[in-house]
């Protein structure tokens, strides 16, 4: 959430900043609510002062043996007015809060202007694109040829956009996650095992609510509980409501966890294969820093995700997202896009964002130097290192062979116990 004082004092600046995103601030509505809030606040404080003064007057009159009934009647009227004003003030404060809660974060100056992914800026490329002496297949054909991937069984058991993996393809998926987790632990991240269910307050803290409620799976048994859309929610909320010693920052957390998303608004996109699923797994990175550490931490975190792709020898490019494509809670985002030969295209495999104090303000997360009494809001960052399913897709497509086998990346041979994924025998197939 943006700073209330900034909104009150520099609303025009906020409007100009969010206009870069294509977001129109309802300034007249916000101004009207703020004027009403201020008026109600003043009248409430005046009535509270009258009530306090009246209490003292009653005490003095009582001590002097005077009749206090007229004063009590007057104070009852004041108390009734105060209750009404407090109720109105609470209502207006909630309306103002709701109006401000849907305002996205302000962007860093380095974020380029633009309206869609077509305006994102390529920063760099890494790796050589593979060359094939045959027409490369997409991951669905490769996975089905290995008898290791079945969207049909996923649909039968659950519905569309669920996929079953088996045999060495399932093992490769598991090994990829373990490999990524071990790499990030070596980079200094603390491993955390997080719940797959989160509450509404935690989702509000990271900016998923109220803006993106339709993208979430809500539990019918409890209206305040949701399936986690990403481990970022739990990892970031570790510091919710806390005051962290500055000497402990940055905090670096990593988790491997299932993610659940309804994919609202994406119907018709990536319906074939393992790219866009309702359930998938990610290795998620979160850092909690000071304002001074945030920029360097963002570059470092993106580098930690890049290191996974480089170690797996998967070609990719690094993109700086434009204003119109940057996420709601982010000030600046890098996307890493891996090369998929089956699509002859780069596709997103990681998104690394710095959020400034936007999430911290919603969560009430602060830090304090040991020599100071004053606290400050922390800055938060998050990123994927990597989306495991999409990494599996990239390995199947980039390492495929003409005979239907798939080479195992060198970095994974020891963990896989084999150099190749072989088609499963008929008795072990999905058929």
Please identify every residue annotated as catalytic.
261, 276, 348, 351, 390
Q: Which residue, 178, 224, 161, is CA-closest to 198?
A: 224
Q: How does DSSP classify residue 418? A: S
DSSP structural state of residue 258: E
386 preceded by a cis bond (ω within 30 of 0): yes
Q: Is the peptide bond before 250 cis (omega within 30 degrees of 0)?
A: yes
Q: Distance between CA atoms of 317 and 10, rounded to whole angstroms?
A: 38
Alpha-carbon gap, residue 6 to 18, rounded angstroms: 13
For tokens 């294509």, the residue is 22
Helix/strand/coil for 159: coil
Residues near 419 by beta carbon (within 8 Å), at least 6 away in sequence: 407, 408, 413
Which 3 state secondary structure label does DSSP give 55? helix
In Å, the largest CA–CA distance within the chain is 107
Specify burial of residue 424 (Cβ count, 10 A radius: 0-12, 13-18, 19+).
middle
Radius of gyration of the chain (CA): 27
3-class state of residue 319 by DSSP: strand
* 406 Cβ contact partners less than 8 Å away, ≥ 6 residues apart: 142, 146, 395, 396, 399, 400, 420, 421
Question: Is residue 410 helix, strand or coil?
Answer: helix
Q: Whose CA is closest to 172, among 418, 347, 338?
A: 418
CA distances (Å), origin 35, targets 12, 81, 353: 16, 20, 35
339's enclosing H/E stretch is strand 332-340
């Amino acid at each position: 959430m943006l700073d209330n004082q900034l909104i009150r004092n520099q609303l025009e600046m906020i409007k100009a900043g969010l206009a870069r995103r294509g977001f129109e601030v309802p300034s007249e509505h916000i101004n009207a609510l703020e004027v009403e809030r201020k008026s109600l606040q003043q009248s409430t404080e005046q009535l509270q002062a009258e009530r306090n003064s009246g209490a003292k007057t009653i005490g003095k009159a009582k001590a002097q043996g005077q009749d206090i009934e007229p004063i009590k009647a007057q104070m009852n009227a004041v108390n009734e007015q105060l209750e009404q004003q407090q109720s109105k003030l609470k209502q207006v404060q909630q309306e103002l809060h709701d109006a401000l809660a849907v305002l996205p974060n302000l962007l860093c100056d380095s974020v380029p202007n633009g309206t869609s992914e077509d305006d994102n800026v390529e920063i760099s490329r890494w790796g050589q694109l593979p060359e094939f002496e045959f027409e490369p297949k997409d991951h669905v054909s490769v996975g089905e040829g290995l008898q290791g991937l079945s969207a049909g069984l996923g649909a039968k058991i659950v519905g569309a956009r669920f996929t079953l993996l088996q045999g060495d393809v399932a093992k490769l998926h598991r090994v990829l996650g373990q490999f990524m987790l071990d790499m990030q632990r070596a980079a200094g991240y603390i491993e955390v095992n997080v719940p797959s269910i989160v509450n509404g307050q935690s989702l509000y803290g990271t900016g998923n609510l109220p803006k993106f409620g339709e993208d979430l799976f809500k539990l019918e048994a409890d209206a305040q509980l949701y399936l986690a859309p990403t481990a970022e929610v739990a990892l970031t909320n570790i510091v919710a409501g806390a005051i962290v010693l500055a000497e402990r920052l940055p905090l670096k957390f990593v988790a491997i966890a299932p993610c659940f998303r309804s994919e609202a608004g994406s119907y018709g996109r990536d319906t074939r294969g393992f790219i866009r699923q309702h359930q998938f797994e990610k290795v998620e990175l979160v850092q909690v820093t000071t304002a001074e550490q945030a920029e360097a931490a963002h570059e470092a975190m993106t580098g930690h995700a890049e290191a996974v792709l480089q170690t797996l020898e998967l070609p990719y490019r690094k993109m700086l997202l434009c204003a119109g494509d940057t996420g709601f809670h982010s000030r600046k985002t890098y996307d890493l896009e891996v090369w998929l030969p089956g699509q002859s295209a780069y596709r997103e495999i990681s998104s690394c964002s710095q959020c400034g104090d936007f999430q911290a303000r919603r969560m009430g997360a602060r830090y304090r130097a040991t020599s100071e009494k004053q606290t400050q809001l922390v800055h938060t960052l998050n990123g994927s290192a990597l989306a495991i399913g999409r990494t599996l897709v990239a390995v199947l497509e980039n390492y495929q062979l003409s005979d239907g086998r798939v080479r195992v990346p060198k970095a994974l041979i020891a963990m896989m116990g084999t150099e190749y994924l072989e088609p499963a025998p008929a008795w072990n197939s999905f058929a």
